[in-house]
Structure 1
């Protein structure tokens, strides 16, 4: 039995096009993988710890192989627990809207917490950075008000480009993307966009 972690980063819930597409994905996944476990992490329903001075200092203690102070140890253990929760999954789906050309701050907060040395990546002066979350498929569902396919618009897309970069940094190589775009337009056109995204979601869910 595999574990699928679904990470939601939109606060709009039933009005969210990224979540509605993710729900289609999850329904199809349940049909094709009836014995698997699905865990949903709603980032708007989870109180995430602050990445404060103790946590940041602890990160550098890890990177330099030095001992923790007690406050650093406590802060780092909280980070480790969150990383272990993330790494416990075998498969992932992340749903996110575009906010100001980038990602919601709740998702950025979560990424800043789990992107940690010794947990999700390592660093060697000779070889550089190596991601530790490997061999696991991930599907990312993006909703965006506009279309970002042409060269001029691509420069404003700090949503998908950032996610591709950070997921690769953490070690993911099997990354599938579903684009729900543009979501601002005539109702018929938006419905067609949603239908195409839903069909892609069903296909991907059956394959992973």
Structure 2
């Protein structure tokens, strides 16, 4: 059975450009995959655990081969549950607006929780890294107020897609496709034109994803 984890990193609901394009992707994907299941994970609603205190210590205990205290075990269990949910899926869809030229803080928090040694990446004896979440595919719908066209001076301000795709690759998810709704704050004509192009591209990708 095809299972898709739909990670929502925008709090804007129906006003969100990334969510509206991602929702269209889901509709086409479900039509192309009868019996497929979609798990929606709205990061602004699920109440992610903070990654501090006992969780930080638990992580370092794992890295240094030390035992956990009961408090650390209980705190780490929440981390393992989120990682388990993530790894239980073979397909991922992310709806990601640009905030301050990067990703929303809540998505960074989610990645900081699930990106853990021995779970989503491994460390070789020579210190090299290798991803442990392999054989998966990811689709990302970005939205941006401006345009960050490759080869232009504005490209250097885009820390949104380079960061997210680097982290997906780091965990072993190297098959990543994306579309972007750019220019959402550059007037309705530019916004609507770019959004329609993103919608059409998302529909095409959804049929073979």
Residue aligning to 1:187: 188
- Deviation of 1:189 after TM superposition, in Å, equals 2.1
Work out whether 1:50 is the aligned partner of 2:50: yes
- Deviation of 1:66 after TM superposition, in Å, equals 1.4
TM-score by length of 2: 0.96
Residue aligning to 2:9: 9
1:51-70 paired onto structure 2 within 5 Å: 51-70=51-70
Instruction: Indicate the SS of the match to 2:29.
Output: helix
Instruction: Indicate the SS of the match to 1:23.
Output: helix
- Alpha-carbon RMSD across the aligned residues, in angstroms, is 1.0
How many angstroms apart in 2 are the aligned matches of 1:48 and 1:147? 31
1:103-182 paired onto structure 2 within 5 Å: 103-126=103-126, 128-149=128-149, 150-182=151-183
Work out whether 1:205 is the aligned partner of 2:177: no
Paired positions, count: 208
Residue aligning to 2:89: 89
Per-residue displacement from partner, 1:104-138 (whole Å, max 9, x unpaired)? 01111111110111111111231511111111110
Per-residue displacement from partner, 1:64-97 (whole Å, max 9, x unpaired)? 1111111111111110011001111110000110
How many angstroms apart in 2 are the aligned matches of 1:60 and 1:154? 36
Which of structure 1's runs of 4+ aligned residues deviate more than 4 A?
A: none
